């Protein structure tokens, strides 16, 4: 058992001693994907946070503080993925309302839910955003009937 614990500790130290190149790359790609998905408009605070974390990771990498660089890069990726998700949810909900309006339907109830969903997104309330976006789609579907 002691050997296992000792080996685990050595493995953790070695993981921190290696530059987190893959984690940095993953974070950069996630941030770029969030930008492409419109997170700059739909979730600017999260996108800014992801970029700030990545800058911190780069600084830690230059100082060879690989453990902190890895943690920040992983956090940047996670925040960027959330920003992308928020953007995608809002784009789909907006498209649904827009399509309803183009067809001359009364989608005013859906538009109210969309407005509330946008506020939830700005506050980072992911679960509330998902529920409200689902309601937008439901209201638009009802308008089509």
The per-residue pLDDT for range 18-45, each reduced to its tens digit, is 999 999 999 999 999 999 999 999 999 9
Q: How confident is the prediction for the chain on average, in pLDDT?
A: 91
pLDDT cut 90: percent of the chain above it = 85
- The pLDDT value given to residue 17: 78
The structure tokens listed for 120 are 């939830």
Asked if pLDDT for residue 13 goes beyond 80, the answer is no
DSSP conformation letters of 67-134: HHHHHHHHHHHHHHHHHHHHHHHHHHHHHHHHHHHHTT---HHHHHHHHHHHHHHHTT-HHHHHHHHH
- The pLDDT value given to residue 3: 56
Tell me the pTM. 0.83
- The pLDDT value given to residue 145: 86
> Distance between CA atoms of 14 and 37, rounded to whole angstroms?
36
- The pLDDT value given to residue 9: 53
Rg of the chain (C-alpha set): 21
- The pLDDT value given to residue 39: 95
Mean pLDDT for the stretch of residues 5-9: 55
Asked if pLDDT for residue 8 goes beyond 70, the answer is no
- 121, 85 in Cβ contact below 8 A? no
């Amino acid at each position: 058992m002691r050997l296992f614990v000792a080996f685990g500790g050595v493995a953790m130290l070695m993981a921190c001693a290696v530059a987190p190149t893959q984690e940095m790359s993953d974070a950069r790609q996630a941030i770029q994907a969030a930008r492409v998905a419109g997170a700059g408009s739909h979730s600017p605070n999260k996108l800014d946070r992801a970029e700030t974390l990545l800058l911190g990771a780069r600084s830690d990498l230059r100082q060879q503080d690989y453990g902190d660089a890895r943690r920040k890069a992983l956090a940047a990726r996670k925040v960027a993925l959330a920003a992308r998700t928020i953007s995608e949810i809002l784009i789909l909900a907006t498209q649904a309302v827009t399509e309803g309006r183009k067809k001359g339907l009364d989608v005013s109830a859906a538009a109210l839910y969309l407005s509330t969903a946008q506020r939830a997104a700005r506050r980072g309330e992911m679960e509330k955003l998902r529920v409200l976006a689902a309601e937008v789609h439901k209201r638009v579907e009802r308008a089509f009937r």
